[in-house]
Amino acid sequence: MNLLTDPVGITHYLIVGAILFVTGAVCMATKRNALGVLMGIELVLNGANVNFVAFGSEYLRPGVLGIGLDGQLIALFVIILAAAEAAVALAIVLNFYNNHSTVDVDRADELKG
């Protein structure tokens, strides 16, 4: 099976989703900037969203009893949650910046045991 020659199917979506997820995870693991980490989170969430949408599409997996419209709905919920999470996370970051004059997450280790 050659991905490059085959018509676009579910596999391609999964590969895009996986690339997005890995990129997001690497971004979260490597960025010291809190905003960068947030961006990484967004990537991870959207990677998952691509998978949901792909699994929910009848066109991509004809004849297979998938999750149907539920995939799209969950993707919508994830987007809403991501928005809410971003708002809260940005508020935390703003507050952190007020207190520490920086957004370096490595500096936020005051509660360490």
Partner 1 sequence: MDPVTTLPVLLGIAWLVPLASFTLILLFGPRMGKHGQGAGMLATAAIGTSAVLSLIALFFVWVPAYDWAPEHHAAHAEHGAAEHHDAGHGEAGHDDAHDKDAHGADEHQAEEHKTEEHKTADEHHDWRKPYVAGEWYTLGQFGKLRIGISYYIDSLTVTMFAMITFIATMIHFYANGYMHDELHEITDHEVTLSNGHHLHRPGRFHRFFQYLSLFCFSMLGIVIAGNIAMVFVFWELVGICSYFLIGFYIERKSASNAANKAFIVNRVGDFGMIIGLMILIATLGTFSFGDIDTDGDGTAEPGIFSLVRTEANNYALVVPDGMVRAAAASEIAAGVEPSAEQIAAWRAETGPGGIGRTAYWLLIVAGLGIFCGCVGKSAQFPLHVWLPDAMEGPTPVSALVHSATMVAAGVYLVGRFYPVFTPETLLVIAVIGCITLFIAATIAIVAVDIKRVLAYSTVSQLGYMMLALGVGGWSAGMFHLITHAFFKSLLFMCSGSVIHAVHTNDMTKMGGLRHKMPFTAYTMLAGCLAIMGAGIPFMIGLSGYYSKDAILAQALSFKASNPQWGFLFYVAAAGAAITAFYMFRLWFMTFAGKPRDHHAYDHAHESPKIMYYPLIVLAVLAVVVAWPFWPVSIVALLEQARPEGFHETVNGVLVSNLTHPAEHISHEPNFHIQATWVATFVGLSGLGLAIVFYGLSLLNPAEVARQFKPVYTFLWNKWYFDELYDYIFVRPVLFVANRVAEFDKVVIDGIIDSLAMLTRMVARLDDLSDRYLVDGFVNGLAAWTYATGSKLRSAETGRIRQYVMFIVVGTVAMFVLISLYIS
Residue 113 burial by Cβ neighbours in a 10 Å radius (0-12, 13-18, 19+): exposed
Which of 41, 57 has the CB closer to partner 1? 41
- Asked if 51 and 17 touch (Cβ cutoff 8 Å), the reply is yes
Which of these, 80, 73, 14, 81, lies nearest to 48 by C-alpha position? Answer: 14
* Stretch of 3-11, 64-72, 90-98, 100-108 lying at the interface with partner 1 (CB under 8 A): 100-108
Residues 10-39 that bind partner 1 (CB under 8 A): 25, 28-32, 37
Report d(CA 35, CA 89) in Å as an integer. Answer: 9
Q: By C-beta, is 62 or 109 nearer to partner 1?
A: 109
Give yes or no for a contact between 68 and 58, defined as CB atoms under 8 angstroms apart. Answer: yes
In the window 62-91, what residues touch partner 1 (CB under 8 A)? none
Contact flag: residue 101 with partner 1 (CB under 8 A): no
Q: Report, in Å, the least distance between residue 62 CB and partner 1.
A: 25
Residues interacting with partner 1, by CB under 8 A? 25, 28-32, 37, 40, 105-106, 108-113
